[in-house]
Amino acid sequence: MVRRTASILKDEWGVSDSLLDAAAASEDAIAASCEAIDALSSRRFLKLMGAFRAAGVKESHLHPSFGYGYYDSGRETLDCLFARALGAEDALVRHQLVSGTHALRCALFGLLRPGDELLVVPDAPYDTMRPIFGLKPSPGSLAEWGVSVRLASAADVLSGAAAPGEKTAAVLIQRSKGYAWQDSISIATIEKLIASVKGSKHSVKVVVDNCYGEFVEEREPCEIGADLAVGSLIKNPGGGLAFTGGYVAGKAGAVEQAAIQLTAPGLAKEVGATLGTTRNVFTGLFLAPRFVAEALKTALFAAHLFGSLGYDVLPSADEPRTDIIQAVRLGSRGKVLAFARGIQEAGPLDQGAIPEGAPMAGYADRVVMASGSFVQGGSLELSCDAPLREPYIVYLQGGLTSAHGKLGVLLAARRVLEERGA
Ligand SMILES: *Cc1c(COP(=O)(O)O)cnc(C)c1O
């Protein structure tokens, strides 16, 4: 792509010859890995088509329901489709779940009762989950409800240094790295973690925070023994088309408990008008394996290019991936803002906006976000974000087409190099 479009990238987007040379070299270096990504995507797509067939999706299932939404066969079919697609018994797929954090809250409050303990892996959990745990006093948190939370690294669980105790009722495994310089947790490792915690306490329920992980590997968490997998529809499984929403998939009883937290005891999954929102969710899921592959190729390109420019990247270009997140340690506030500016300049919308840090609900530090996305915060679309704190790491994700992703990475690199020169 870079060589064939070099003159446009240079004349219209101001990308220098030396950066174009580095980018072309990166493209060559990752070509074989990109083919492997496409092959896996095709396998996941064919599996997904089997799910559409098994769920018996019909045109009439795309139509809206209103009011209570009783007997909505479209909503029920969407739940069934997600369950099949993610290797689960049942699923709760709702636009009333306002985000991934909300879906996780429902899943955890559904499974836990006063006096229980929740074990959380890794020990540096995602920012928006902290108020739910109530590690610091936080109204409505699990702590306030009498549930204690213990943090542990994956290594400590695997070695037996951290194991479920007498009070441990559930284990939450966060697959994607979040805003931390740590490895995301692969499906193979999650499988070992599940074997370990269930081996030492059979009754313990395992919830996997599956955000950014759907369709990246061959298997999904529920296929390797997780009781629940939870995620956001404006990340991978919404295929860039879902306007909002979240899902909880897994064992039928655990999904039911999450549904009760969203609605009410007695109502559970039986209510919730779709208002016509599901058409985009069906279509987005259909496209998700393809767009996830495009996002993975963008992440890989960024890893190689920024690695070749001398920056630490996680994962590196030759490591296997379990999510679409690419972390780049830029080391200064100026470079983080420069990177974000480059991503913003490549977006289809708001190209002229200059991203800056701002306070955000659920986050302790100011966060800078860049995205010219069609859906606000939709992060299977090309976007990056960074909490403005040491050691100044930027997290890049998405790109519905790798052509767009590469443009964003090139403009981000251009701005970072200018900042370095400044
Ligand atoms: C995105 C994300 C969530 C949920 O975030 P929302 O913005 O509430 O959807 C949870 N955990 C991780 C690791 C995430 O990346």
3-state DSSP assignment of residue 206: strand
Could you tell me the distance, in angstroms and rounded to a whole number, from the CA of residue 12 to the centre of ligand 1? 35
Nearest residue (CA) to ligand 1, atom 4:
100
> What's the confidence (pLDDT) of residue 421?
66
Q: Answer whether residue 422 shows pLDDT above 70.
A: no
Could you tell me the distance, in angstroms and rounded to a whole number, from the CA of residue 226 to the centre of ligand 1? 18
Displacement of CA 301 from its chain's centroid (Å): 19
pLDDT tens digits for 378-421? 999 999 999 999 999 999 999 999 999 999 999 999 999 999 76
Closest to 88 (Cα-Cα) out of 293, 267, 263, 258 = 258
Tokens of 286: 């259909």
- 250 DSSP β-pair partners: 90, 228
| Residue type for position 195 | A
Q: Answer whether residue 282 shows pLDDT above 70.
A: yes
Share the mean pLDDT of the chain. 97
Place of tokens 């064919």: 46
CA–CA dist 162, 155 (Å, integer) = 9
Closest to 290 (Cα-Cα) out of 40, 57, 29 = 40
Pocket of ligand 1, candidates 105, 174, 232, 376: which has the most ligand atoms within 8 Å of its Cβ, to mutate? Answer: 232
Give the number of other CB atoms < 10 A from CB of residue 45. 17
Sheet arrangement for strand 367-371: 312-314, 326-329, 393-397, 383-387, 367-371
CA–CA dist 311, 306 (Å, integer) = 6
pLDDT band at 159 (very low <50, low <70, confident <90, very high): very high
